[in-house]
Structure 1
Amino acid sequence: MTMHVQEEINLERFWKVESLGVEQKSVHQGYEEYTKQYQNTGISYENGKYIAKLPWKENHPFLPSNELISRRRTVSVVNRLRKEPELLQKYGEILSEQEKRGFIEKITDVKSSENTKVHYIHHHPVKKDSATTPIRIVYDCSCKSTRDSPTLNKCLMNTSPILNDLTAILLRFGYHVFAVSTDIEKAFLNIGLHPDDRDVTRFFWLSDPNNPDSLLQIYRFKSVLFGATCSPFILNATITKHLALHRCDDTENVFNKDYTSITYLPAYQTSLHQQQTTVPESIL
């Protein structure tokens, strides 16, 4: 009996591989309905910029402030970085640049209304093998004040965006001589965070970045931050909403192929290979 079950499993895997890229795509109805609802109620366009709300779980547990643990860990990060003054300076420069570009802001009045959620996020440096940017700042939205306390990420919807069909990408990839990969600079940070949700993204840093003994200053995000479990979904929903609102031939091509990475390039003559590369309409 065990052998028959194993044979059925192997046969099922075989047919899945055989039908890869051929079988009809399933409709992710639940995801699409939720995305449309979020786009209509959670994303707005104000003063030349998209503003997004955090997608909170219904009846999520009470979110603690995490102020004490965030303060302690920030002091620990400062003490660690003071041993490497160049990294401490670079850390401060990154935050100063983010403030200058409107991604974060200082909080002068720490008072908040009773209905306002307040939460502090821990952050720490991660070294990079780069001469220009030796470190990057990582924000920990999964930090717990106690073993049983909920985290910010646990209170937010973890809705992964639907990925593009890998088989179609690979097929189109093979029909061209060159492939181009692009990236949106600071994609998350270029989406504004709704004012009602900004106070759950508070964090501490030095009031004087050049003085590791200076008092801690409270900041908060004005943009969608890298580290929140819902950020990829917010980015995906914002891009698709923007494309849907500005329909044209180019956006139709993106919707029909890949909207997170455009792998289609027109056929052209290459001086290197001296050959025409044509993509069949069935693949497009």
Structure 2
Amino acid sequence: MLHEENISNPVEMSTANQKKEQVSENRSEPQHVTNSVVSCNHSQTVKTVILMTAVVRIKDPRGWTTPCRVLLDCGSQAGRMQLSDNLPELQETHFGWVVAGDIEDASTIQHCLVATTDPISDLLRQFWELEELLDSASQPTEEDECEKMFQSNHHRDETGRYVVSLPFRESVRELRDNRSLAMRRFLSLERRFRKDPELKQQYCQFIDEYIQLGHCQEVNESNHVTQGVYYLPHQAILRPSSTTTKIRVVFDASAKASRAENSLNDVLKVGATLQSDIFSFLLRFRKHQVVFTADITKMYRQIRIAPCFQRIFWRSNPDDPLRVLELTTVTYGTAAAPYLATRCLMQLCDDEGSSFPIAARIIRLDCYVDDVISGADTVEKAIECQT
């Protein structure tokens, strides 16, 4: 913050005697303003440069003020050069030459100089290639390839469940063994169990349920497999506010043995988004007079998947032998899981829609991931939709 003091007009002087006389005549003027005189010798002639200074008070962040002398006029009469009648002039100052003045020329002509060694025809061709719209029909996207893989690989087992394969990219060949990484992560999890017995109990219940429901199976690592193998590190996510599941076990399919290597998610195709956006979903819900909600239990784990790429380490106690479990269902945490789950829902509508038209309509329009929020105009119709 600056507080400027009173400033007197500058007085031009040429010699020391004139300066003394002038100072004696101006004794009544404020003492805190100084007109400094600097003489410059250009071509054996003496020219006077007038510099105006003043004392100002500068306030620092602590609120203290300090008097300081500042330069108010850095202009100089020592050297001027007029370029032209319609151009600014050059003025020499103690800080270098500066350009000052107005330009009266109102011409709007602009010039652009381009230096290139490429022929003009090649530049024009590159420009039109960049601006050309690609034919989407001739350029299949990864989403199209993912859909094609699903249609050719999915089937239903004897219980009616869908069985799918992971949609791999070509880079799956570069997937390296990450067993040591998964082992280190599991040993770290066991150390956490020793500090938190309640967490260990809930974690063991989760894995035991996984085994009892047939969503994983124990495998022997010594058995030869023709496909690649990937180990999923896993960890616990606590949800104290949840009324159903206080703990969720998350499988880390993005784990890399090193920065230079790929993870499982890096070699998986993500697939297209098949369900409506949340805005359209909620807008349709508000149109119903009578509404109801539902939830698809363990949606991802209702779909079976080809093995080998979803192995985990597990044991209930550190003294037990280390077990290798292979997850046999679509796993939460893999990049393709949302697409595979929702695509199986759409396929179920195609396969069973003629027998259950109301349910097929609700699944297509009123299902967001695994949550169903739908309704009807009357209570009777709402009950019919649920049955």
TM-score interval, smaller chain: 0.7 to 0.9
Separation of aligned partners in 1, 2:322 and 2:274: 41
Separation of aligned partners in 1, 2:343 and 2:265: 18
Matching residue within 199, 206, 212 for 2:308: 199
Q: Indicate conservation of the 8 Å contact 1:54/1:230, yes or no.
A: yes
Matching residue within 298, 301, 310 for 1:189: 301
Partner residue in 2 for 1:224: 330
Q: Give SS of 2:375's match.
A: coil
Partner residue in 2 for 1:245: 351
Partner residue in 2 for 1:159: 271
Could you tell me which runs of 5 or more consecutive residues in structure 2 were left unpaired when the two chains were aligned: 1-139, 381-387
Q: Which amino acid aligns with 1:214?
A: D
Tell whether 2:327 aligns with 1:213. no
Separation of aligned partners in 1, 2:205 and 2:278: 39
Q: Which amino acid aligns with 2:326?
A: R
Q: Indicate conservation of the 8 Å contact 1:44/1:50, yes or no.
A: yes
Q: Indicate conservation of the 8 Å contact 1:187/1:235, yes or no.
A: yes
Separation of aligned partners in 2, 1:240 and 1:171: 21
CA offsets per residue over residues 87-131 of structure 1, 9 Å max, x none? Answer: 212211211111110101111353223x32111110011111047
Q: Indicate conservation of the 8 Å contact 2:143/2:271, yes or no.
A: no
TM-score (ref. length: structure 2): 0.55
Is the helix fraction higher in 1 or 2? Answer: 1
Q: Indicate conservation of the 8 Å contact 2:143/2:272, yes or no.
A: no
- Structure with the greater alpha carbon radius of gyration: 2
Separation of aligned partners in 2, 1:117 and 1:72: 20
Task: Give the drift of 1:144.
Answer: 0.7
Separation of aligned partners in 1, 2:158 and 2:171: 32
Structure 1 range deviating more: 127-136 or 58-67 = 127-136
Is the strand fraction higher in 1 or 2? Answer: 2
Matching residue within 266, 273, 280 for 2:376: 266
CA offsets per residue over residues 36-63 of structure 1, 9 Å max, x none? Answer: 5233212110111211100001344511
Correspondence list, 1:1-284, <5 A:
33-34=144-145, 36-48=147-159, 49-113=161-225, 115-129=226-240, 130=242, 133-166=245-278, 168-194=280-306, 198-206=307-315, 209=316, 211-248=317-354, 249-251=357-359, 253-254=361-362, 257-260=365-368, 263-268=373-378
Q: Which amino acid aligns with 1:110?
A: S
Q: Structure 1 residues 54 and 76, CA, compared in 2 at 3 Å: closer, same or farther?
A: same
Q: Which amino acid aligns with 1:186?
A: K
Q: Give SS of 1:79's match.
A: helix
- Percent identity over paired residues: 24
Q: Indicate conservation of the 8 Å contact 2:169/2:267, yes or no.
A: yes
Separation of aligned partners in 1, 2:338 and 2:251: 15
Task: Give the drift of 1:250.
Answer: 1.7
Q: Structure 1 residues 256 and 133, CA, compared in 2 at 3 Å: closer, same or farther?
A: closer
Structure 1 range deviating more: 34-43 or 51-60 = 34-43
Separation of aligned partners in 1, 2:311 and 2:260: 21
Q: Which amino acid aligns with 2:191?
A: N
Q: Which amino acid aligns with 2:297?
A: E
Q: Give SS of 1:51's match.
A: strand
Task: Give the drift of 1:81.
Answer: 1.1
Task: Give the drift of 1:246.
Answer: 1.3
Structure 1 range deviating more: 30-39 or 58-67 = 30-39
TM-score (ref. length: structure 1): 0.74
Q: Which amino acid aligns with 1:174?
A: R
Separation of aligned partners in 1, 2:325 and 2:364: 41
| Aligned Cα root-mean-square deviation (Å) | 2.7
Structure 1 range deviating more: 58-67 or 119-128 = 58-67
Q: Indicate conservation of the 8 Å contact 1:173/1:179, yes or no.
A: yes
Of structures 1 and 2, the one scoring higher in RCO (CA 8 A, sep 6+) is 1
Q: Structure 1 residues 89 and 190, CA, compared in 2 at 3 Å: closer, same or farther?
A: same
CA offsets per residue over residues 200-220 of structure 1, 9 Å max, x none? Answer: 1111011xx1x2333321111
Separation of aligned partners in 1, 2:279 and 2:196: 47
Q: Structure 1 residues 264 and 184, CA, compared in 2 at 3 Å: closer, same or farther?
A: closer
Q: Structure 1 residues 252 and 89, CA, compared in 2 at 3 Å: closer, same or farther?
A: closer
